[in-house]
Amino acid sequence: MSAHLSQLEGRTQPVPSDPHQSGPPLPAAVADPGATDAPDGTDALYIRVLEDSPDGGVFVVRIQCRDPIPLAFWKRKAFFYNGQVQQTDTRLRGDGDELEFVLHAMHRSQRLSNAHYWTPFVVALCLDALLFRYRLPPHLHWNGNIEQVMKENTLVLTR
């Protein structure tokens, strides 16, 4: 499934040569720390987690996305708080296509990994991205779509 980003309209358009395409293609969400642009021209969401130190308890999650709608949503969204982690800031970066979220672990335990603290926030970002019709690949070289994953995992999703 491929797509082209329309420069004039600023949204993803279906490729006309694909008669089996059922609707507008879904942009890809990618968690690749070295990536900057989607290889096939699709709009992509990049999520990077930056940690200040193993015992610091302050984490920065950076997202990059060319679609202004989810960026505007995340910029205005209420700060994340789950009892263990509290979001303390949201900053616009770069050319307006990057946001940074600052997270603070409320009661940091040395026995728990850093991922224990920032993972719920990243999962919330991914769920938001689903609302904006991003497909989330189970691995970096996956060519399917989220509907296939949901059909294959209906038992897990209905628990």
pLDDT digits (tens, 9 = 90+) for 47-64: 898 876 666 788 999 999
DSSP output for 3-38:
EEE-TTT-SEEE-TT-TT--SSPPPEEE--TT--S-
Which DSSP letter does residue 135 get? B
What is the model's pLDDT at position 129? Answer: 81
What is the model's pLDDT at position 85? Answer: 92
Which DSSP letter does residue 48 get? E
- List Cβ<8 Å contacts ≥24 apart for 113-118: 114/51, 114/54, 114/59, 117/57, 117/59, 117/84, 117/85, 118/49, 118/51, 118/59, 118/61, 118/85
Q: Are 32 and 63 in contact (CB under 8 A)?
A: no
For the chain, which residues make up each domain, given as ranges? 27-157
Q: How far apart are CA 34 and CA 111, in angstroms?
A: 29
What is the model's pLDDT at position 126? Answer: 84
Q: Are 98 and 63 in contact (CB under 8 A)?
A: yes
Please list the ranges in the chain whose pLDDT falls under 50: 1-38, 155-159
What is the model's pLDDT at position 88? Answer: 94
Q: How far apart are CA 151 and CA 153, in angstroms?
A: 5
What is the model's pLDDT at position 121? Answer: 92
Q: How far apart are CA 27 and CA 42, in angstroms?
A: 6
